[in-house]
């Protein structure tokens, strides 16, 4: 029997067999069915069944690790390390280090360089990175990162970076873009490997 949920005062039973990456279905107490559709993935496939995505960051041995997803994202809390993020999927890893000796904390790394913060968000099945330039007068021409991985990296003409094992795409890094404080958009930036 499925677990009962109390939503909007009505007892509903989730029909887990009907789950899809972005859908939940419930049987209401009046015997009608209701579906919720989301803009992002809320489930991931594990052993043939859709499991709940839970990107709550748990504190484990001086690390913050997302709770339940098809990949593990780890943020180190140690202020002395330069490792920003570690994403692991199916025994493959992708680690990124900022080439600096500045302090940082938790998932928002404050002042990693003068007037620059870096934030990471795990949203659905994606990891979002935001590099925040706080002073337009001190904006650097480039930022240099060290990446350690057991996978291959390939930049496409679309500015996407494919992270692959042979012909299998493990991760995709979307093209970079910038927005300013008033929302102006600029995609005239790129990655170099």
pLDDT tens-digit map of 110-155? 777 888 888 888 888 888 888 888 888 887 878 888 888 999 999 9
Answer yes or no: is pLDDT of 81 > 80. no
pLDDT mean over 1-5: 39
Cβ of 79: how many Cβ atoms within 10 Å?
Answer: 11
Q: Which helix (H) or strand (E) holds 16?
A: none
d(CA 122, CA 57): 9
* pTM attached to this predicted model: 0.52
Best CA proximity match to 104, nearest among 114, 118, 115 = 118
The residue that leads in pLDDT, 5 or 90, is 90
Q: What are the tens digits of pLDDT across the range 34-64?
A: 999 999 999 999 999 999 999 999 988 888 8
Answer yes or no: is pLDDT of 6 > 50. no
d(CA 175, CA 156): 10
Q: Which helix (H) or strand (E) holds 26?
A: strand 23-28
d(CA 3, CA 22): 20
Best CA proximity match to 192, nearest among 165, 179, 173, 169 = 173
d(CA 43, CA 70): 9
Cα angle 33, 35, 36 (rounded to 5 degrees) comes to 150
- pLDDT for position 122: 80
Question: How big is the chain by its Cα radius of gyration, in Å?
Answer: 20
Q: Are 55 and 72 in contact (CB under 8 A)?
A: no
């Amino acid at each position: 029997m499925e677990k009962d949920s109390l939503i909007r005062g009505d007892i509903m039973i989730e029909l887990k067999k009907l789950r899809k990456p972005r859908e939940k279905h419930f049987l209401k107490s009046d015997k009608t069915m209701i579906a919720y559709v989301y803009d992002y993935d809320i489930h991931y496939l594990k052993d043939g069944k859709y499991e709940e995505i839970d990107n709550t960051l748990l504190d484990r041995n001086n690390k913050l690790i997302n709770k339940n997803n098809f990949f593990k994202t780890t943020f180190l809390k140690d202020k002395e390390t330069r490792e920003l993020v570690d994403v692991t999927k199916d025994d493959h890893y992708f680690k990124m280090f900022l080439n600096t000796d500045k302090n940082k904390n938790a998932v928002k790394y404050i002042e990693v360089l003068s007037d620059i913060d870096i934030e990471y968000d795990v949203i659905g099945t994606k990891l979002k990175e935001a590099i925040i330039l706080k002073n337009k007068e001190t904006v650097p021409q480039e930022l240099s990162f060290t990446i350690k991985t057991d996978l291959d990296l390939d930049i496409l003409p679309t500015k996407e970076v494919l992270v692959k094992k042979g012909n299998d795409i493990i991760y995709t890094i979307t093209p970079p873009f910038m927005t300013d404080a008033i929302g102006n958009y600029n995609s005239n930036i790129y990655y170099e490997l």
